[in-house]
Amino acid sequence: MEKVLLRNVDVPDSHTLAVYRSRGGYRAWEEVVKNIRPEQLIEEVKASGLRGRGGAGFPTGMKWSFVPKDSPKPKYLVCNADESEPGTFKDRLLIEKDPHAIIEGTLMAAYAIQSHTAFIYIRGELAFGAKRLDQAVNEAIETGYIGKNIMGSGYDLDVIVHKGAGAYICGEETALLSSLEGGRGWPKVKPPFPATHGLFGCPTVVNNVETLAVLPWIIGHGAAAYAAMGTEKSKGTKLFSVSGHISKPGVYEVEMGYPFVKLLEEDCGGVANGRKLKGVIPGGGSMPVLRPEEIEKVNLDYESVQAAGSLLGSGGVIVMDDTTCMVRAALNLARFFAHESCGQCSPCREGCHWMEKIFHRIEHGEGQRGDLELILDVSGNIMGNTICPFGDAAAMPAAAFIKKYREEFEAHIEEKRCTVGME
Amino acid sequence: MDPINITIDGRQVTTTKGKTLIEAAAEIGIAIPHYCYHPKLSIAGNCRMCLVEIEKMPKLQIACNTQAMEGMSVFTQSPKVLAIRKAVMEFLLVNHPLDCPICDQAGECWLQDYYMTHDQQASRFEERKEHDRKREVFGPNVVFDGERCIKCTRCVRFLQEVTHTDELAVVNRSDHSTIALFPGAILDNPLSANVVDICPVGALTDRDFRFKVRVWYLQKTPSICPGCSTGCNISVETYQNRIARFKPRINEAVNSHWLCDEGRYCFHDLTGGERLTTPMIRHEGGLVPTTWDKALQAVLSGLRSAAPSAAVLSGRNTNEEAFLFAKLMKKMTSDRVLEVFYQERELTEVQKILMSPDRSPNFRGAREMGVSSNGGFDSLMQKLKQGNFSGAYVVGEDLISIDRDPDEVGQALKKLSFLVVQDIRMTETAQLAHVVLPSTHFGEKEGTYTNRKGRVQKLNAATITPEGALQDWEIFVRLLDASGELVSHSTPSEVFDALAKEIPGYQGLSYATIGAQGIQLGGEGQS
């Protein structure tokens, strides 16, 4: 398969403008800004079938088309580089190794919605990546790809790299906007949606790094070439960051619809140290865990993973072998969500830590009968009832670990200790 | 305003486009429970108590932020909705200390009320509760208990959106989220105590009121704030014949939901101190108790022989009292100056949200009743200091203490041949009087005030006048009777109906139809 997103990352000095241009970089942008009308660009991206790679998989072209054309307010394009989903490190690779692809995609998306100010909101901890992006933006400004009257087109665009302060919730698009506005990183109550009332109350599109980085390729090769890859509903390629008990952890690019087992067994060399697979989270820490038998026929596309009872999410694949205590794994994730809940709405604020406390008791030999039903009930009360998807993100994995490894949780409660790996 | 049709719990409702479900439901008497929603604040959507089920929508929606749409079918009592209310109540109580027995909010706490109406089940939370700051003083009037707080952010939004003073914010994350003062800030703006009113739980309590009375013992009397001429609608809340607190009453034409701190706590100054309970008369240089008949006779003969005379009425006297007082003074002496006490001060921007520059709630009404000689109060005081008067009748104001030059006023009063003071306490002015008449304060009165904008509003007696003192209107009626002007009024309402026949601008009003929200002069309620 031809590399699309990872086409540049292995080239020495791939982060520099010189190398990026030598590999065809910014030609697509020049073509777009000089010869393509915004609505044509939107149609082209719609035709490519590209869906948002931040986790929700919403069609990108359609998202752009929701921005009102006749609004008197300024419009904003925001690149979401706040990658913080547990087990996800695909954007980081692009940020550090191919920042110009992200910038070129950001320019195109901004042009599509006729925004004249674009922001790249990068996670605070990615200090090196932020430096790379800053350097790349400066190079692009010096070369005239960003600025006033870009390449004589009459189109103006400014790009600002903004570093977050390290809260997971700021990856949620409206919390990101609150943070970018200088406020507390709290998700906004919807409706209204960002397309009409986003940053500073103005029409705004927030796109993920991976979504934007693929745009130069789509325009360079044509929507049809992109749509020719993948499945009927999940087009193109996708990055997967594979971690945990796996022989060759790393970022992999595969066509949508690639067999999950093939990725793990062939590309990644199987479970580390020849051990047996116990479970795998396919789409980042907030997605339900799957048992080995559940992934046998799963392909890596939105529909297939969903049919198996989980979600493709961010493509953060976390592999757990048979030495893993699933109670501890559940506790680990519950602790993360209890810590990261923004505290705005009642179910998530109170429920996440409550679940963590119960998991903690079970893991530490103080579990009681009824605890599992209680967690399932609490997670059910959070699920779907919160301001933003964080509630679901905390509830889904908690419920999935219990449902799929119930015998292990019950053993912890009965034996009052961990019995994993003790034959 | 486009009308649209929706269904709530099977009932057809016609509402208007743009209304939220919580508003549309309220219009037909369906109360959707809520904490963070407040009609005067922006939508926060954080408590999740108002989640309702909407046909064709997979998830429950918050009624506070969902606009009614044509054809929408809403369920506020479906099994899913009843279940999520129990769930939200359980979440809100997870880290709540359940300290109702020592919480001042008990009895008017939304957690208690909704627990009874929507929850009524034991919590399944057995873990250690998270702790937070207890009794942190936010400002002179407000104290915070972080453990009782449900983070509805009403207080934060009030300070952002109404006063624009921004003293408070939410800090920290997860269940360690809490409300805190910005570094260096104090919650001491002129409207600060409103955050106590809008706090649905025991997180913010009133430092002046707390621990004085259990709220279920309070008797609540609708009335008007005597603090200034804005005329904020209040509930005077009393316990054992003492005023325990003021709470704002909602009146969109006057004060909306709010009450300023100065007004809220003014009853301490206006009602405190030792009360006069017997008339007094000057005898051999000192004031000695006498009977009402003798005292009133002394007033009549004193005023008749002392011309020219000054008549000062407090701005806290009612229209009915002012009407009778003006009649009395005009009858008693042909050479007199009548004025209502009036002083102005500069107001800050935040004060201007609610407060008027004076401290005379019925300044406008009393003048309209005839207590006005067109020179104004300052001019009357000027004349008094210059020795232009021989007699004076001072009602409800301590002229010495309110003046910038108390000594000069005292000297002027001493020179009068006759001074009658009608008040509730032995003030410095009263000590110089020839006759002292014990009267009543605003809290003991029935009657009307006309606010700065010409709204006639009702006062109701919240406490009982002490034995021996008389209502001001009754004193004036007795004096009028004794002077030969027979007035047959036996209640303030009769006085009002009489004045409505005489006073320009008040024609067509009747005491019975003023109602709890008052009537605008020249407005629709005036026939």
Tokens coding B168: 């408070």
Nearest Cα neighbor of B245 from B394, B112, B104, B405 is B104
pLDDT at A45 over 80: yes
Half-sphere exposure of A198 (CA within 13 A, CB side): 29
Task: Please name the residue of chain A whose CA is at the shortest distance from the CA of residue B177.
Answer: A343
Contacting residues of B for A347, CB less than 8 Å apart = 48, 87-88, 91
* pLDDT number for residue A55: 86
pLDDT band at B487 (very low <50, low <70, confident <90, very high): confident
Task: Tell me the domain boundaries of chain B.
Answer: 3-77, 125-271, 280-520
Angle among Cα B33, B50, B30 to the nearest 5 degrees reads 50
pLDDT at A133 over 80: yes
CA quadruple B119, B124, B130, B134: dihedral positive or negative?
A: positive
* pLDDT number for residue A249: 98
pLDDT tens string B280-328: 999 998 999 999 999 999 999 999 998 899 999 999 999 999 999 999 9
Q: Count other C-beta atoms under 10 Å from residue A140's C-beta.
A: 25
Determine, for residues A347 and B48 on separate chains, whether the beta-carbon distance falls below 8 Å.
yes
Burial class (CB in 10 A: 0-12, 13-18, 19+), B104: buried
pLDDT tens string A378-408: 999 999 999 999 999 999 999 999 999 999 9
What strands lie across the sheet with B3-8, from one edge to the other?
Answer: B11-16, B3-8, B73-75, B51-54, B61-62
* pLDDT number for residue A420: 84
Average of pLDDT values for B273-279?
96
CATH number of A326-415: 1.20.1440.230
Rounded to 10 deg, the angle between the B319-332 and B492-502 helix axes is: 70
pLDDT at A362 over 90: yes
* pLDDT number for residue B526: 72
Phi, psi dihedrals of residue A193, rounded to the nearest 5° = -95, 160
Residues B409, B422: contact at Cβ < 8 Å?
no
pLDDT band at B485 (very low <50, low <70, confident <90, very high): confident
Task: Give ipTM to 2 decimals.
Answer: 0.95
Q: Rounded CA gap, B252 and B40, in Å?
A: 11
Nearest Cα neighbor of B183 from B161, B196, B166 is B166
Contacting residues of B for A374, CB less than 8 Å apart = 124
Average of pLDDT values for B350-354?
97
Q: Rounded CA gap, B14 and A325, in Å?
A: 58
Task: Please name the residue of chain B whose CA is at the shortest distance from the CA of residue A186.
Answer: B173
Tokens coding B377: 């109060």
Q: Residues spanned by CATH 1.20.1440.230 within chain A?
A: 326-415
Q: Residues spanned by CATH 3.40.50.11540 within chain A?
A: 17-227
Task: Please name the residue of chain B whose CA is at the shortest distance from the CA of residue A371.
Answer: B124
* Distance linking the first and last C-alpha atoms of chain A: 44
Determine, for residues B91 and A191 on separate chains, whether the beta-carbon distance falls below 8 Å.
no
Task: Please name the residue of chain B whose CA is at the shortest distance from the CA of residue A360.
Answer: B127
Helix (H) or strand (E) holding B313: strand B309-313
Residues A242, A270: contact at Cβ < 8 Å?
no
**Class in CATH terms, A17-227:** alpha beta
Contacting residues of A for B44, CB less than 8 Å apart = 189
pLDDT tens string B363-420: 999 999 999 998 999 999 999 999 999 999 999 999 999 999 999 999 999 999 999 9
**A117 - beta bridge partners?**
A76, A158
pLDDT tens string B115-124: 999 999 999 9
Q: Rounded CA gap, A132 and A140, in Å?
A: 12
Residues of B with CB under 8 A from a CB of A: 43-49, 51, 58-60, 62, 65, 84, 87-88, 90-92, 94-95, 124-125, 127-128, 130, 150-151, 169-170, 172-177
Q: Rounded CA gap, B185 and B181, in Å?
A: 6
Cis peptide before B308 (omega within 30 of 0): yes
* pLDDT number for residue B527: 60
CATH number of A237-321: 3.10.20.600
Q: Rounded CA gap, A276 and A274, in Å?
A: 7
Burial class (CB in 10 A: 0-12, 13-18, 19+), B334: exposed
CATH number of B3-77: 3.10.20.740
Contacting residues of A for B84, CB less than 8 Å apart = 381, 385
Nearest Cα neighbor of B456 from B368, B365, B326 is B365
pLDDT tens string B497-511: 999 999 999 999 999
Q: Pick B47's closest partner by Cβ from A339, A346, A361.
A: A346
Q: CB-based contact (8 Å) between A339 and chain B?
A: yes
Nearest Cα neighbor of B202 from B97, B351, B308, B58 is B97
Q: Count other C-beta atoms under 10 Å from residue A238's C-beta.
A: 29
* pLDDT number for residue A1: 76
pLDDT band at A340 (very low <50, low <70, confident <90, very high): very high
Determine, for residues A352 and B43 on separate chains, whether the beta-carbon distance falls below 8 Å.
no
Determine, for residues B45 and A189 on separate chains, whether the beta-carbon distance falls below 8 Å.
yes
When the pLDDT of each residue in chain B is averaged and rounded to a whole number, the result is: 96
| One fold for B3-77 and B280-520 | no
pLDDT at A103 over 80: yes
Beta strands in B345-446, from DSSP E residues, in sequence order: 391-395, 418-423, 435-438
Q: Rounded CA gap, A197 and B460, in Å?
A: 49
Q: CB-based contact (8 Å) between A104 and chain B?
A: no
Contacts of B111 (CB under 8 A, 6+ apart): B89, B92, B93, B96, B150, B200, B201
Determine, for residues B92 and A361 on separate chains, whether the beta-carbon distance falls below 8 Å.
no
* pLDDT number for residue A131: 98
Q: Count other C-beta atoms under 10 Å from residue A196's C-beta.
A: 16
How are beta strands B168-171 and A299-300 bridged, if at all?
Answer: unpaired
The single-letter DSSP state of residue B499 is: H
pLDDT at A423 over 90: no
What is the separation of C-alpha A127 from the centre of its chain, rounded to a whole number of angstroms? 19
Residues B97, B126: contact at Cβ < 8 Å?
no
Phi, psi dihedrals of residue B53, rounded to the nearest 5° = -100, 135
pLDDT tens string B126-144: 999 999 999 999 999 999 9
* pLDDT number for residue B525: 66
The single-letter DSSP state of residue B431 is: G
pLDDT at A422 over 80: no
CATH topology of domain B125-271: Alpha-Beta Plaits (3.30.70)
- The model scores a pTM over 0.90: yes
Tokens coding B491: 């209640």
Q: CB-based contact (8 Å) between A394 and chain B?
A: no
Q: CB-based contact (8 Å) between A383 and chain B?
A: no
Q: CB-based contact (8 Å) between A197 and chain B?
A: no
* pLDDT number for residue A251: 98
Residues A401, A329: contact at Cβ < 8 Å?
yes
Amino acid at A395: A
Q: Pick B174's closest partner by Cβ from A339, A385, A386.
A: A339
How large a percentage of chain B has pLDDT more than 90?
94
pLDDT tens string B433-456: 999 999 999 999 999 999 999 999
Burial class (CB in 10 A: 0-12, 13-18, 19+), B96: buried
CATH of B280-520, one of 3.40.50.2300, 3.40.50.300, 2.40.30.200, 3.40.50.740: 3.40.50.740
Average of pLDDT values for A64-70?
95
pLDDT at A36 over 80: yes
pLDDT tens string B56-109: 999 999 999 999 999 999 999 999 999 999 999 999 999 999 999 999 999 999
Per the document, the length of chain A is 423
